[in-house]
């Protein structure tokens, strides 16, 4: 048994929140550079250059890359041999978010109820998905998920007959309808299979794979590359001003599903692709 005190969790989450919002991940910056080498549109190149400048300014001044500092989504892998002491795991994570967003001058963008819409003041609560895994480590994957792109995420319960072509067409349709509203260049997290809720969770989890790395499953890897190429033929481009770089990556995760089902969930993520991880 290994003890982890809640204060260590709160502290780690606080730092992840601030770092995620100030310092865009290196995988995103490398993606911008790859795009600059292939983008034909002058307006598109200009946007990409400004986004790189924006990342540098945010990092050095420790201010948010984007003013929408997002809703915090955490995937936690809790080792079976970890014993959390001093309080509850969820409270510890929320305390970390509260402190990180206050002390980091990040925006409070969460309302306590979708109906009365009163702001909670400290960007809590987070959305937390916990998986219990073998081992004695606590692994926290944290994302600051922007609202604009999130609003363009889509879901469909396809039929098995619609098959892989139906899945592909739906994903491309999502990119097309997201358009400039979701702040391209986009990253897509896609879930295929599972039950209704499992599929959606997969689509978020898929976003944590390092951009530019292959899918470990060769069939899915080929599918991802084909879809990325197709998405970039839409011509939407950076910020929708026209160009070749509409999406920087499409990541797919699958899960076994019912003989009657073919669920597909697409989480749309923007270029403010803010994700950080820590292992305690």
Summarize as ranges the residues that interact with other proteins (CB under 8 A).
40-41, 43, 47, 50-51, 53-54, 57-58, 61-69, 105-109, 117, 119, 146, 148, 151, 172, 176, 179-181, 183, 230-231, 233-237, 239-244, 270-272
Instruction: Report how far residue 270's alpha carbon sits from residue 181's, in angstroms, rounded to the nearest whole number.
Output: 10
- Is 147 in contact with 114 (CB distance < 8 Å)? no
- Is 13 in contact with 97 (CB distance < 8 Å)? yes
Instruction: Report how far residue 227's alpha carbon sits from residue 247's, in angstroms, rounded to the nearest whole number.
Output: 10
Alpha carbon distance, N-terminus to C-terminus of the chain: 14
Query: What is the smallest separation between the CB atom of 205 and other proteins, expressed in angstroms?
Result: 23
- Is 245 in contact with 199 (CB distance < 8 Å)? no
Q: Give me the phi and psi of 249, to 5 degrees please.
A: -175, 150
- Is 155 in contact with 249 (CB distance < 8 Å)? no
Query: What is the smallest separation between the CB atom of 68 and other proteins, expressed in angstroms?
Result: 7
When the beta carbons of 103 and 210 are compared against other proteins, the nearer one is 103
CA atoms 194, 195, 198, 203: torsion sign? positive
Q: Which residues contact 212 (CB under 8 A, 6 or more apart)?
A: 27, 30, 31, 34, 249
When the beta carbons of 121 and 160 are compared against other proteins, the nearer one is 121
Query: What is the smallest separation between the CB atom of 191 and other proteins, expressed in angstroms?
Result: 22
When the beta carbons of 106 and 252 are compared against other proteins, the nearer one is 106
When the beta carbons of 50 and 130 are compared against other proteins, the nearer one is 50
Query: What is the smallest separation between the CB atom of 274 and other proteins, expressed in angstroms?
Result: 10
When the beta carbons of 12 and 58 are compared against other proteins, the nearer one is 58
Query: What is the smallest separation between the CB atom of 166 and other proteins, expressed in angstroms?
Result: 16
- Is 43 in contact with 124 (CB distance < 8 Å)? no
When the beta carbons of 228 and 280 are compared against other proteins, the nearer one is 228
Query: What is the smallest separation between the CB atom of 192 and other proteins, expressed in angstroms?
Result: 20
């Amino acid at each position: 048994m290994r003890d982890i005190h809640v204060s260590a969790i709160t502290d780690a989450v606080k730092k992840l929140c601030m770092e995620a919002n100030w310092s865009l991940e290196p995988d995103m910056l490398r993606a911008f550079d790859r795009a600059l080498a292939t983008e034909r549109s002058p307006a598109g190149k200009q946007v990409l250059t400004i986004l790189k400048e924006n990342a540098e300014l945010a990092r050095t001044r420790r201010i948010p890359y984007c003013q929408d500092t997002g809703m915090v989504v955490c995937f936690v892998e809790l080792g079976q041999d970890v014993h959390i002491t001093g309080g509850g795991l969820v409270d510890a994570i929320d305390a970390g978010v509260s402190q990180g967003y206050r002390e980091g001058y990040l925006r409070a963008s969460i309302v306590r109820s979708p109906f009365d819409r009163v702001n909670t003041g400290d960007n809590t609560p987070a959305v937390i998905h916990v998986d219990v895994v073998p081992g004695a480590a606590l692994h926290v994957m944290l994302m600051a998920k922007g609202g604009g792109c999130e609003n363009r995420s889509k879901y469909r319960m396809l039929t098995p007959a619609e098959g892989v072509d139906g899945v592909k067409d739906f994903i491309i349709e999502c990119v097309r309808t997201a358009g400039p509203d979701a702040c391209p260049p986009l990253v897509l997290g896609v879930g295929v299979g599972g039950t209704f809720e499992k599929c959606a969770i997969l689509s978020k989890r898929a976003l944590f794979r390092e951009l530019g790395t292959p899918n470990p499953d060769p069939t899915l890897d080929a599918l991802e590359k084909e879809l990325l190429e197709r998405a970039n033929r839409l011509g939407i481009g950076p910020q929708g001003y026209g160009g070749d770089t509409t999406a920087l990556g499409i990541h797919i995760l699958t899960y076994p599903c019912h003989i009657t089902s073919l669920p597909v969930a697409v989480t749309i993520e923007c270029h403010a692709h803010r994700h950080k991880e820590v292992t305690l």
